[in-house]
A = this chain, B = another copy of it.
Amino acid sequence: MEITESNTTESSILNAAKGIFQRKGMAAARMQEIADEAGINKSMLHYYYRSKQLLFEAVFKSAFSTLAPQLNEIINADNSLFDKIINFTQNYITFIVKHPYLPNFIIQELNRNPEFARKLFSEKMPNIDKFRKQIENDVTNGLIKPINAEQLFINILALNVFPFVGAPLIKGFLNIDDKDFLKLMHERKIEVSDFIINAIKI
């Protein structure tokens, strides 16, 4: 009978850990703070997860396995290039507005630990051959201007992911508050795909 929502304590620890680790990063996070947020005792963290490192890894894996499949859609989905761009932009921004710390957390920890990054990807290696072929076909058929598949992939990622990672910088330079920022992000659900399609269509 352990198939239900089961362990309330364990899952509330994981949720609290997600919040703290994602906002502060591994090094700055404090076990005490996670315990407080979960509303339980600090030693419970060790009881369920043994060490800070293991708790962190649980949080990171959960975050990465949420984000990676979404990015994979760009290179592996079966629809047309323009549909792909429109769908990804719409879905991704909608999702990240609800989890604003996620991309920055992943990027930060990958930057901090590059070998870890390599190991992660070597397990389940993405393959952009399909995407590259799609681009080449569309170029040949006169649907889009000549463009390198890698560069287009980077551009799609950049336009969608950066605003959330660089939010404080953007808010500072544009001198806007959280509310205005969120409004801009909602507009981007269509602005970004329009921008990309305009850049490449003939």
Contact = CB atoms under 8 A, between A and B. Distances in A.
21 contacts: A24-B112, A25-B108, A25-B112, A26-B28, A28-B28, A107-B168, A117-B172, A121-B172, A121-B173, A121-B175, A128-B173, A128-B174, A128-B175, A147-B195, A151-B187, A151-B188, A153-B173, A157-B169, A157-B170, A158-B162, A158-B163
Interface in A36-84: 71, 75
A17 to B, nearest CB: 16
A79 B145 CA distance: 28
Given A162-B157, A175-B126, A195-B199, A107 B169 contact: yes
Interface of A: 23-28, 71, 75, 104, 106-108, 110-112, 114, 117-118, 120-121, 125-128, 145, 147-148, 150-151, 153-155, 157-159, 161-163, 165-176, 184, 187-188, 191-192, 195-196, 198-200
A26 B25 CA distance: 11
| Majority-rule SS of A interface residues | helix
